Amino acid sequence: MSIQVGETLPAIPLHEGTPKTQVSLPELFAGKTGVLFAVPGAFTPGCSKTHLPGYVNDFDALRAKGVDVIACVAVNDAFVMDAWGKAHGADGKIHMLADPAGAFTKAVGLDVDAAVLGGLRSKRYSMIIEDGKVRALHVEPDGFGLSCSLSNELLAAL
């Protein structure tokens, strides 16, 4: 079962930039309004052409709606997430967080076996977070589509 609205994000360490830099989502979102979105894989077509660019492009609009922190999670290593973020201009806007073994993704119950991407991956989703708790959750119906988890949909929900 996946994480539910009202529940607190698990304190499973994610990595930002390098494997040595650990991030706890409850700490990152403590006392803040935030957006957390996840993708099946960095540098994959839908994630690179639509999902991440939408959040980068809508950064100012999200901030204007009261969002303090934006973070992206994928079951990839920290170096890949860092390079992917840089390739899309996410520096200073979006925390590009790696979940290399999928521990966080499994803990929130949003994992999927995506053989075409090498096995365990995250379903595509977005969340609105208030002080470390899930206020809204939008999971793509098939786990991979590009509809309810996009930045424009999240903006409408804020």
Domain annotation for the chain: domains and CATH numbers: 14-157 (3.40.30.10)
State the pLDDT at residue 143. Answer: 80
List alpha helices for the chain, DSSP H: 25-28, 45-46, 52-57, 59-64, 78-87, 103-107, 151-157
Instruction: Give me the residues of the chain with pLDDT under 70, please.
Output: 115-119
State the pLDDT at residue 45. Answer: 80
| Residues recognised as catalytic | 47
Question: Distances in Å between the alpha carbon of 155 and those of 12, 65, 84, 144?
Answer: 27, 8, 23, 20
State the pLDDT at residue 118. Answer: 67
Place of tokens 């803040």: 32
Cβ pair 51, 123 in contact under 8 A: no
State the pLDDT at residue 19. Answer: 95
* Nearest C-alpha neighbor of 38 from the set 11, 66, 5, 14: 14
State the pLDDT at residue 105. Answer: 97
Per this entry, what is the length of the chain?
158
Cβ pair 62, 71 in contact under 8 A: no
